Every structure is written in C-alpha cells, then in structure tokens.
Amino acid sequence: MNKFLKLLSFLFLGLDLSSNTSLEITTIEIQDSYNTTQRFPGKVLPLNYSKLAFEVPGKISEVKIDIGDAVRRNDVLATLDPAEMQANLNQAQARFDLANQALNRFKDLKSKGFISNQELDRANSEFLIAKAQVDLYSVKLEQTFIRAPFDGYIQNRFLDSGTVISPGVPILEIIDSTIVEAHVSVPSYIIESLVEGNSYNFFLDNRILPATLKRFTKMSNQGSDNRLCIFEFETFISPGSISYLQLQQVKSATGAWVPLKSLSQGTQGLWNLYTVSKDSNNQFKVAKEIVELIHVEGDNAYIAGTISTGDMVVSGGAEKVIENEILKVN
C-alpha cells in the first residue's frame, strides 16, 4: 500500500458551493517524522563481456549467429576457411608418422647393437620435433573457430563472411546472460547507511527490482566524495539500461501529509491551505491556514503549521472556495 494512503484517510463529503460543485475533503494526521525517497542513477552492465577475435589470420568462412542471439558456452560462433591450416596439419602428421616409424626401427637396431646411442638420440629428437609440429597445427586449426567463452547474448557483430582478417580483429561481442550489475555513484553521507550483502530496490521501466550490494570502490574522479557501489541484480536485465537506486530516509519534523493540489501559493515562501470545520450552527465553514512546505514527494506534500490531527482539508476544488464561506451539506 502506498505510504501516503496509510497516513491519510479520504472523506468524500457532499459539501456544495453555490455553484453546486462538490469538494474533496481529506482528514489529516499529525506525525513526528516523514520518509523521503532519494534516487541515484546507475548503469546496468554485464558481469562478463568480451570482444571475440580469431588468433590466426585468414578469410572468414561463416558467422553463425547475429545480434541478440542467445549462445551457450563452447558453441561455435564463427569460422575461418580451414584449408591452409588443415593442409599444414596433414603435412605435419605425415612427417610425424615417418619419424615414429624411423624411431621404432632405430630402437630395434640399437637393441641388436647395430647403431650407436647418438644415432638413436637423433631419431628420437626428430620424432619429438615432428610431434610438436602436429600439436602446433592442431592448435592452429582449432583457432580457426571462435567459441563462446560463457553463456550469453551477442551484443555486436562487427564483420561478415568473406572478410580477410588479421589476428585480434574483433568479430563479435558477447555479454553474460546470467548476471548483471548496476554501478551507482553514491555520496559519502549515504554510504554509512548501506550494508554489503543487503538487498536494495531499483526503479527501472516502471518496475521495482531488488539487487544485492556486493562491494564499494573508490571513484576515479579525484576530489569527489562519492563512492562507486556495485549491485548485483537477482534477475537478468538488458545491459545498457539506466536504473535508479531508491533509498528511503526518515527525517524528524512534526507535520502532516496532504495532497499537493490542496496547497496554493502564499507570501514570503509560505503556502495557503483551506480547512473545513463545523460551527455552532452545525454548518461547515471554510478557514485559511498558513503552512510551511517541508517536503514534496510525488503528488503529496509534507507540511507544518497550525493544523491538528483530524482537521479536514480541502484537497480538491480548493480554487473554488472563499475564506469564511459557509458550505451546505446535501
């Protein structure tokens, strides 16, 4: 329930002006303090994001996904033409097979005393070099694929099939689909009221979303007293959005909440408020009160002045009433 409705009870009395226009009346309640809501903007960012590139040069054979596509870890996202790397691997494999056969023959000859240790060592060395070449070109062949490093969504696609690229040129950008954060700059006087591990509300697209405060960091801007607060959302939100951290504070001040429309501009920074009360003749009479405006939140105002709990305030149609006017009850 809206906090203002907890404080205000609305009475719709049949109070008529000479023009037969009904007034909306609110009964107020005096309290010792009021709540204020402060909002601090923060950008929604993925916990993990990465620009993906090939580690070897070549011609892009296929980009398998597009912007907005969901991918799983290790999915193949793009490929280079593998012909050259495959040919190099085939040659290395052939040399390895020959080196392996030669090493086995040399081992047999050595066991029979026909060759020296030096000749066997040379054959073993050639075998190891051939094996290293196979391993190298196997890795390079695998590098003709770009795989998703984690579950996520494709944020950007920079190049298409047929493009000849160098190593390190970004092809795709992926963002984490499991965890997003809000980075919020908060004044130092607010920091003391925040607790790591606690949940706080954020306002985004007319929704209230909970997020857990994970940590504080120092702002890079020297001279700023603000701290950067990192919050982790419990549900996935599209990165790049602006969300608003909502913090409530209790402030001590005697007064009452009234609808903002019940106030009219007075003098010297004060405001006018019209109240309705019964006189000795059981008639309703309008009186003007001078009040101080302490705080405004939404369509409601917290005021202080010569008002008391139970006072009936004209909250609708105040512009039509006149001070000391007698109202009729239907």
Which pLDDT tens digit goes with each residue over 213-255? 999 887 655 556 788 999 999 888 878 889 999 998 888 999 9
Residue at a domain's end among 223, 246, 269:
246
Domain count, the chain: 4
Q: Are residues 217 and 190 located together in one domain of the fold?
A: yes
Taking the C-alpha atoms of residue 3 and residue 184, their distance in angstroms, rounded to an integer, is 26
43 in a domain, yes or no? no
8 A C-beta contact, residue 314 and residue 272: no
Q: Are residues 162 and 137 in the same domain?
A: no
* CATH number of domain containing 9: 2.40.420.20
> Model's pTM, two decimal places?
0.57
Judgement on whether residues 57 and 167 belong to the same structural domain of the protein: yes
CA 133 from centroid of its chain's CA atoms: 48
Highest-pLDDT range among 144-148, 175-179, 271-275, 303-307? 144-148
Q: Are residues 56 and 163 in the same domain?
A: yes
Asked if residue 132 and residue 95 are part of one domain, the reply reads yes
Q: Which residue has the higher pLDDT, 20 or 50?
A: 50
Is residue 282 located within the same domain as residue 206? Answer: no
217: which 2 tokens? 């960091």
Q: Do 291 and 204 fall within a single domain?
A: no
Residue-number span of the structural domain to which 240 is assigned: 183-246
Distance CA 70, CA 23 (A): 57
Q: Read off the pLDDT of residues 104-131 as tens digits, 9 standing for 90 and up.
A: 999 999 899 899 999 999 999 999 999 9
**Does residue 94 sit in the same domain as residue 138?**
yes
Same domain for 194 and 229? yes
Q: Which of 140, 251, 233, 249 is nearest to 181 (CA)?
A: 233
Does 232 lie in the same domain as 187? Answer: yes
Three-class SS of 152-189: EEEEEECCCCCCEECCCCEEEEEEECCCEEEEEEECHH
